[in-house]
Amino acid sequence: MPKFQKESFFKSFILFFITIEILLVFIFYNYSVVEKNHLKNNIFLEMKNYSYNFNNDKFDIDIVSKKTQKLYELQGDNKNLYIFIDIENKNKDLLKIIYPQSEFNNEILDINKKLLFQFITFSIISLFIALLFSYYSLYPLQKSYSILKEFMKDIIHDINTPISTMKLNLSLINIKDDEIKSIEQSIKVLEMLHKNLDNYLKDNTVLIQEYNMKDILNEQINFFRSIYDYIHWDIEISDEIISTDKYMINRVVYNLLNNACKYNISKNGYINIKYKNKILIISNTSHGIKQPSLVFNRFYKEHDRGLGIGLHIVSKILSQLKSKYKLEVNKNNIVTITVTMK
């Protein structure tokens, strides 16, 4: 199951399970109150019956002087539960029927144990219900994702053949005029998009080797600068050898520069690229981002252009490489992405 489906399943399961548990807590709490009142009522009735025949070992009796006590009403203190009965003698004394508070507490404890066992049983049942509900509620999403994945695999396979054919035919042409260069650039864009889609569907194995980060950056910068020549480029790159996966870093740099160019302003736009001590900073003018916290989410986009997977691929790769990243947008709509490589 893909990561985003696992997250959706987990969130759905937690939400449904917590909802059931809250409902169970409410039901069992009220039930415990009802049971406690029911126990008190039974004790009161037993005390009244005891006052007629004194045939019950669980109660004690005492004779007290008649004052302002309430008759035939269950009362209690820290030690006992009791009721007062009018015995209508000459001294006008009252009969006090006593039930130890400790015994009452033991009966309450037994009730709570039974309720706790029932609560745990129902919680286990609700756990399985939540699992089943979450699975079946996400089934349409899983099916749609499978269809989309197969569709994208077919597209990737179909795109690869014409790209390879065009690259082969262009390599046989000796003429290198502006039109040929434009075609070469377009093919390279298609090839990059093809690699993005392929990367989206695969969990690539990380292959760590030593590379010059300056060469990796310059390769991508030269490609985009030739296409977006109306943008002002300000570049400060240190010559530095790093241990990384070249293919993955190429994907990261490509997608970051692609976004910086694609969503740049058309007049007086600029891209500032700095790299030093394993820290890559790319700043660019833009038309603004409404939800900066969402731009790395899968399929999120604020414009009609693009698939909404470029920055998600960046976050996915950097997580695999255990590198950190952050995006900031200032009041002038300057977008700055900082990548701190491991």
- The per-residue pLDDT for 284 is 95
Alpha-carbon distance of 313 to 336, in angstroms, equals 18
- Please determine, for residue 113, whether its predicted confidence score (pLDDT) is greater than 60: yes
Q: How many CB atoms lie within 10 A of CB 89?
A: 11
- The per-residue pLDDT for 15 is 85
The encoded tokens of residue 212 equal 């010059």
Average pLDDT value over all residues in the chain? 84
- The per-residue pLDDT for 277 is 93
- The per-residue pLDDT for 38 is 93
Residue 236 three-state SS: strand
- The per-residue pLDDT for 240 is 93
- The per-residue pLDDT for 233 is 95
- The per-residue pLDDT for 135 is 79
Tell me the mean pLDDT in the region 109-114: 92
- The per-residue pLDDT for 340 is 94
- Please determine, for residue 309, whether its predicted confidence score (pLDDT) is greater than 70: yes
The encoded tokens of residue 292 equal 């900066």
Asked if 224 and 282 count as a contact pair (C-beta separation under 8 A), the reply is: no
- Please determine, for residue 293, whether its predicted confidence score (pLDDT) is greater than 70: yes
pLDDT tens by residue, 147-172: 767 766 766 666 766 777 777 777 77
Which one, of 124, 96, 118, lies nearest residue 32 by Cα?
118
pLDDT confidence tier of residue 118, bands split at 50, 70 and 90: very high
**When comparing pLDDT for 249 and 149, which is higher?**
249
Residues in the chain: 342
How many angstroms separate the Cα of 43 from the Cα of each of 40, 101, 199, 277, 288?
A: 5, 12, 73, 80, 73
Domains of the chain: which residue ranges? Answer: 3-137, 151-201, 203-342
- The per-residue pLDDT for 300 is 81
- Please determine, for residue 27, whether its predicted confidence score (pLDDT) is greater than 70: yes
How many angstroms separate the Cα of 147 from the Cα of each of 142, 144, 313?
A: 9, 5, 20
Place of tokens 């899968």: 298
pLDDT confidence tier of residue 12, bands split at 50, 70 and 90: confident
**pTM score, two decimals?**
0.55
- Please determine, for residue 243, whether its predicted confidence score (pLDDT) is greater than 80: yes
Alpha-carbon distance of 21 to 126, in angstroms, equals 8
Asked if 197 and 155 count as a contact pair (C-beta separation under 8 A), the reply is: yes
The encoded tokens of residue 240 equal 């530095």
- The per-residue pLDDT for 35 is 92
pLDDT tens by residue, 40-98: 999 999 988 888 888 888 899 888 877 667 888 899 888 999 998 887 766 678 888 99
- The per-residue pLDDT for 4 is 57
- The per-residue pLDDT for 17 is 87
Asked if 328 and 289 count as a contact pair (C-beta separation under 8 A), the reply is: no
Q: Name the CATH superfamily, with its identifier, for domain 203-342.
A: Histidine kinase-like ATPase, C-terminal domain (3.30.565.10)
